[in-house]
Amino acid sequence: MEASPVGAGELGEDLGWSPCQPFPLVAVPPGCDSGFGKAAARHLDALGLRVFATVLDLQSPGAQELRQCCSPQLTLLQMDLTKAEDIQEALRFIKAQTAGTGLWGLVNNAGFNDTIADAELTPLQHFRTCMEVNFFGTLELTKGLLPLLRASRGRIVTISSPAGNMPYPCLASYGASKAALSLLMDTFQCELAPWGIRVSVIFPGYFKTGSSCNPEYWKKRKHQLVASLPPELLEAYGEEYIEEINKQFLDFMKLAVEDLSAVVESITDGLLSPRPLVKYYPGRGLGLMYFIHHYLPHGARDLFLKAFFINPKLPRGLQPKTLPGTPPHKP
């Protein structure tokens, strides 16, 4: 379901503000130096909201771009969601800056993944890193801002992923962290309703963000993964197996949409609409995908995901073995 774009001029009485009140403050953590975060920060700033946008590197090209194209109201903060001290410093700053105005909304934009591989091939540390960024860091930041959001009866908008709803091949670590995040936000949606806080979750389709479509980045990550695997595990699957799934992933990402406006409109609607949706699904093909997921047998869903995303070939250890001296089979 698509969002109905809401402009700053449409807010007024529906959200309980008078014309003499300042526009609300919105925190958009982290990753605002690229992708959805940067696009959302620019759009919300253009609507007249004061935005706290967090980035990993204050000197990154994306951070520099935000400084140049946004109003002086936008504030950039450095934050790494895997570092508790960074989160606490950002919380202290935002609380101090909003003491007299309040905080209207929080946009959770964290999304980390750097491995395309079966769960058995994915290092355990990678599962932990995905959970630290995509779940625990987001949880800590959200909990830290809840007193301000309760006071304003504000909004929480979180970007999750369809990979957190269904078993995409070779995305176990990322999908597991997004599944945990989605369930957490569903729980918040129920628990915070009596406080007047509205919680929305966005499940985007396939968009071109950050390094997600950079072939050199994924080539480097593939080589690092192969080098880290125990010899017996690499022998069981074969390096050619890992090569093939990464090739299929890059072919799939060529279809990613460059225009991020559908996601930005969903974020804006979740923050500013008098009647925000609980779930948003911006992106092409998601309706069919969720129909198959919810109404057809799991086997049909799994076949669809393999045809649509990645269809791994047989690992080396499962391939028929040719006996010495046996001529190769001809179809």
- CB half-sphere exposure, 23, CA atoms < 13 A: 18
Contact yes or no for 272/15 (Cβ under 8 A): yes
How would you class 162 by CB atoms within 10 Å of its CB: exposed for 0-12, middle for 13-18, buried for 19 or more? buried
Both structure tokens of 266: 């969903």
- Catalytic positions, written as ranges: 174
Only one residue has tokens 């074969």, namely 238
**Cα 226 to the chain's mean position, in Å?**
26
Give residues with Cβ within 8 angstroms of 74, minimum separation 6: 41, 45, 50, 51, 53, 66
**How many Cβ atoms are within 10 Å of 98's Cβ, its own excluded?**
20
Contact yes or no for 61/48 (Cβ under 8 A): no
DSSP H or E stretch at residue 131: helix 124-131
**Cα 152 to the chain's mean position, in Å?**
26
Both structure tokens of 101: 């105005």
Helix (H, G, I), strand (E, B) or coil at 273: coil
Both structure tokens of 75: 């504030």
Both structure tokens of 88: 């606490």
